[in-house]
Structure 1
Amino acid sequence: MMKLGFIGFGKSTNRYHMPFIDAANKFEVTGYYTRGTRQFDMLYPNLNNHIQRFETLQSLLDSPVELIVITTPASTHYELAKQAICAGKHVIVEKPFCDTLAQAQDLFQLAKQHQVRITPYQNRRYDSDFLTIKNVLKRQDIGKVMEIESNHTHYRTDGAEHSGYLYDGSVYGHAVHFLDQIVSLYGEPDEVIYDIANQKNYYLGEGLSYQMDHTQENGVPEDHYDIKLVYGNLRVRIRFSQLIVKEPPRWIINATNATVEKYQIDQQERDLKQGIFLDTPSFGQDTAQGTCTIYFNDHHELIAPIHQHYTQFYLDTYQAIRDNTEMPVTEQQGLIVLNIMESIVGHRKYQKLI
């Protein structure tokens, strides 16, 4: 068993990490350090009541823990990851990995120097909708893929924010997952075309449009994005809005012989929010509306969804550390995603790393 410790002990730890660490059966959760005193009000039910709360970060880093999982606010990720690496710990960092490409490069280089491993927590590579689409893309009968749309629209009118920081918007907080999915398939894009805006404030609030003071790093962060990744002749569109009444298909693929539509995103997060965990047989299963259909010229075919719990991220991480092989999210993939996001929020022309 690998000894594991948390920096941060709130919603993310108890909802998005503990259930899958428990199911992996490869880790011993030794303890955690958190600055806050308030406990999250929905503790993971199988959490061992005897795990230790370390009173200082240094006491956690001085412990026999091998792997540190950082689930604190994004602005703290870089400094905390540096401290964990320098203490000789392997590190998993919640999304977004850090704020800038330079910070990410520094962390990967530092990990090599200290002979430890570090990876972003990109659990949505194990989403059922993505795994289903990933499998469909391997099929020869759909022909050559021309366009892929990854839609993340819904109708949620609450929570308009009137101010925030450069990295507080939807690109770093939301698009990071879905950019990573595409990068895991196709690698570094040739070109990135993007449009970001704030829709809630403008249409529902005080009429404030997207604005950001890049010197002071404050203003009105974006809550809408439309990102196009260009791979030769292939176009991949990733789109997000919270003011769309009727949700479009989660995925649309246009290929020379077929069009593919997949409705609904993975249901694991929905179940976890309702206190439904992996011991429930229906956990993470698609609803009747979550269909995937391939439309050919003269017929159509329904595709059964592929399910793989986020447990697999931890199993893959465990194996990579033990066998000294590549982590689930490679250094190159992590840097590509950061480069894309930094280009977008910085309103600068995207330049390839390689």
Structure 2
Amino acid sequence: MMKLGFIGFGKSTNRYHMPFIDAANKFEVTGYYTRGTRQFEMLYPNLNGEIQRFDDVQSLLASPVELIVITTPASSHYSYAKQAIEAGKHVIVEKPFCDTVEQAKELFQLAKQRNVRITPYQNRRYDSDFLTIKNLLARQDIGKVMEIESNHTHYRTDGANQRGNQYDGSVYGHAVHFLDQIVSLYGEPDDVIYDIANQKNYYIGEGLSYQMTNEAETSIPEDHYDIKLVYGNLRIRVRFSQLIVKEPPRWIVNATNATVEKYQIDQQERDLKQGIFLDNPNFGQDTAQGTCTIYFHDHHELIAPIHQHYTQFYLDTYQAIREGTEMPVTEQQALIVMNIMETIVSGRLYQKLN
């Protein structure tokens, strides 16, 4: 068993990490540090015995814990990750990994110097909808892929008057997952074309439009993005809005011989929010609306979704640390995603890392 500790012990830890850590059966969760005095109820029971609460980060990092999982607010990710690496711990960092490409480069370089491993927690690489599309992209009968559209639109009107800095918007908080999915397939894009805005505040809140500023008290972070990744002649669109009444297909793939449509995003998050865990045989299963269809010229084909729980992220991480294989997200992939996001929120023209 690998001893694991948390920096941060709120909703993210108990909903998106603990169930899959327990299911992996490779880790002993021995302790955590969290700021403040609030005690969070654990929605999912710890199966490995009592968890110790440490009074400060230094005490946790001085313990026999081998792997640190950071689930604190994003602004503290870089600082805590650096402390953990300097203490000789392997590190998993919740999204977003940090604020800038330079911070990310520093963390990876420091990890190499201290002979430890670090990776961002990109659990959505194990989403059923993504895995289903990934498998279909390899099929020869659909022809050459020309366009891919990754939609994340829904209808949610709360939070219209949100304030924050340039790292608090939907690009760093949301697009990070779906950009990572594309980067895991195709690597570094040749170009990035983007449009971001705050729709909820402008249309249903105070009427202020998106402002690009570092001043938290005056900034209106974006809650809408429309990002196009260019790979030669291939165009990939990643889109998000929270004011769309009828959701479009989660994925649309246009190839020379076929069009693919996949409705509905992976259901693991929905089930976790409802208190449905991995011991339920229906955990993570698509609803009747989650269909995937390939439309050919003269017929269509229904495709069964591919399911793989987020447990696999932790199994892959365990293997990487113990056997020296690649971490679930490589250094280069993490840097590419950071470069895309930093480019967008800063309003720059895209420049490739390589």
Equivalent position of 1:81 in the other structure = 81
Matched, 1:242 2:242: yes
Cα distance, 1:40 vs structure 2: 2.4
Mapped partners of 1:212, 1:71: distance in 2: 26
Give the SS at the match of 2:247.
Answer: coil
Give the SS at the match of 1:32.
Answer: strand
Matched, 1:223 2:223: yes
Q: Is 1:97–1:104's contact at 8 Å kept on the other side of the alignment? A: yes
1:259-302 CA-partner distances (Å, limit 9, x unpaired): 00000000000000011100001000000100000000000000
Equivalent position of 1:11 in the other structure = 11
Give the SS at the match of 1:219.
Answer: coil
Equivalent position of 1:67 in the other structure = 67
More moved, 154-163 vs 317-326: 154-163
Equivalent position of 2:36 in the other structure = 36
1:216-257 CA-partner distances (Å, limit 9, x unpaired): 785100000000000000000000000000000000000000
Mapped partners of 2:141, 2:127: distance in 1: 24
Cα distance, 1:325 vs structure 2: 1.6
Mapped partners of 1:41, 1:6: distance in 2: 15
Cα distance, 1:181 vs structure 2: 0.1
Give the SS at the match of 1:20.
Answer: helix
Cα distance, 1:215 vs structure 2: 6.5
List alignment gaps of at least 5 residues for structure 2. Answer: none
Equivalent position of 2:331 in the other structure = 331
Cα distance, 1:48 vs structure 2: 4.7
Q: Is 1:212–1:218's contact at 8 Å kept on the other side of the alignment? A: no
Give the SS at the match of 2:319.
Answer: helix
Cα distance, 1:37 vs structure 2: 1.6
Mapped partners of 1:6, 1:83: distance in 2: 13
Equivalent position of 2:318 in the other structure = 318
Give the SS at the match of 1:235.
Answer: strand
CA 1:194–1:217 in 2, change beyond 3 Å: closer, same or farther? farther
Q: Is 2:163–2:217's contact at 8 Å kept on the other side of the alignment? A: no
1:78-101 CA-partner distances (Å, limit 9, x unpaired): 000000000000000000000000
Equivalent position of 2:261 in the other structure = 261
Q: Is 1:166–1:217's contact at 8 Å kept on the other side of the alignment? A: no
Q: Is 2:85–2:110's contact at 8 Å kept on the other side of the alignment? A: yes
Mapped partners of 1:212, 1:179: distance in 2: 21
Question: 1:43 corresponds to which letter in structure 2?
Answer: L
Write the mapping of 1:70-149 to structure 2, written as runs, cut at 5 A.
70-149=70-149
More moved, 318-327 vs 172-181: 318-327
Cα distance, 1:330 vs structure 2: 0.1
Name the % identity: 86
Q: Is 1:263–1:290's contact at 8 Å kept on the other side of the alignment? A: yes
Q: Is 1:146–1:254's contact at 8 Å kept on the other side of the alignment? A: yes
Give the SS at the match of 1:13.
Answer: helix
What TM-score, normalized to structure 1? 0.98
Matched, 1:299 2:271: no
Mapped partners of 1:209, 1:124: distance in 2: 30
Q: Is 1:166–1:218's contact at 8 Å kept on the other side of the alignment? A: no
Equivalent position of 2:54 in the other structure = 54
Cα distance, 1:46 vs structure 2: 3.6
Cα distance, 1:159 vs structure 2: 1.4
Give the SS at the match of 1:68.
Answer: strand
Mapped partners of 2:139, 2:51: distance in 1: 47
Cα distance, 1:36 vs structure 2: 2.3
1:116-151 CA-partner distances (Å, limit 9, x unpaired): 000000000000000000000000000000000000
Mapped partners of 2:216, 2:261: distance in 1: 43
Give the SS at the match of 2:141.
Answer: coil
Question: 2:258 corresponds to which letter in structure 1?
Answer: A
Give the SS at the match of 1:252.
Answer: strand
Equivalent position of 2:252 in the other structure = 252
Give the SS at the match of 1:220.
Answer: coil
Q: Is 2:5–2:67's contact at 8 Å kept on the other side of the alignment? A: yes
1:21-71 CA-partner distances (Å, limit 9, x unpaired): 000000011110111221224431245551111111111000010000000
Mapped partners of 1:218, 1:17: distance in 2: 34
Q: Is 1:14–1:43's contact at 8 Å kept on the other side of the alignment? A: yes
Equivalent position of 2:27 in the other structure = 27
CA 1:190–1:218 in 2, change beyond 3 Å: closer, same or farther? farther
What TM-score, normalized to structure 2? 0.98
More moved, 37-46 vs 69-78: 37-46
Write the mapping of 1:168-187 to structure 2, written as runs, cut at 5 A.
168-187=168-187
1:290-343 CA-partner distances (Å, limit 9, x unpaired): 000000000000000000000000000000001112100000000000000000
Mapped partners of 2:54, 2:46: distance in 1: 20
Give the SS at the match of 2:219.
Answer: strand
Count of residues paired in the alignment: 354
